[in-house]
Structure 1
């Protein structure tokens, strides 16, 4: 079940392995981490831990998406854009973990390929923050298999484009007139919101995710659909308590109902 304070299981695994309890303390053993070759026992343990972390990230992706759709249905189109971005961010974290790549923080970011015989690689990207890291690793590890990375929006990678939308809302708009004028979504007066969602779910190209008029909603909808299918293909199940918690978003008449069938059992 999603909790606010639960730290990543993979991070804790390496901290406990070196007898520490924080990323800052783990930095003392960064050289030892670089020299550590993944054993069979590590691989087996990290598979369980990465599954746990992946499900925790997916829970956050689901919750962010459903809350955003409810906000849109109520006419709150500003903060819905932020929540939709976070849904994509958490979906990407889920995908990275399911690829068995684990970012570990030890002063710097180290990336473990959680397979027997592998060593970690130091991440040297420009952005080591959680958001920049998730996008960078998505580009590095599954750009060829991710349909949402097959094209761009005006020359900008889809996830980076959506991140820029979120940054406009959170960091650039300061006063009510600015906030009221900004709307990244296609008008639901011209195209019913429920029909938009159904179209984006059915869009296998996906055409709408690469069109700036529709992408703020189309990218999160398609990313969540793809990640949900990935979890089902991996036979991963959601915590029953969390499934029950989500029922509040599946009331009669709610547009969130479009996503209920996507959730793993």
Structure 2
């Protein structure tokens, strides 16, 4: 019998959840965006929000959907989430969040949820609230609605390179195409074309009232090493700060030194460490 204080949260606790998410606006950004858009009613969402703690003292939340994302999870919360989840079939494609929580969960869940396809234990979480000193690339702009088909091959290449599997493997890529299309419609996809080909792309994959989180940053292989990334990212950051949120954030693999140098030049500062377990 489960005795740990973990429960599925409902709409009556939405204010408490939002206040908790405000305490970790960068690592909890994806959860905050979903709660803001769809609330906590399970029938209106693509996942569930679990809570640790009493109704008067909510201490941590954990998103359970396509991803598993613990937020502000202490050791007791990690143990409680793991106790609950170990008895359930794994449906998520990844576990992502603050490194201590993700690795703590994975240590407890690996025997029933494993094996993992990849574990990335050290992903620096970065943020900035300042317009970059780097001059922005004037050729970086929003992707227009009629350009989705031109952008999509680059998005697939980025995803495959970053995640290690193709987004076309599931449902022939229809779901991923819709995701790219939605970002374009929302004005959250950026591109630089040269002779009709994508040489740089990035998206604001998550937008909350606290931060705009950049993902999907990609430079075409033949353009790497030419020094275009910093100015391109500066254009993205400048626009995101102006149009979407008071900060811009992202996370990056620790071994991607070239990208980390670009982000440092654009004014990003460390905000902790994330980890990702990929299935």
In the superposition, the TM-score normalised over structure 1's length comes to 0.28
Higher relative contact order (CA 8 A, sep 6+): 2
Larger % of strand: which? 2
In the superposition, the TM-score normalised over structure 2's length comes to 0.27
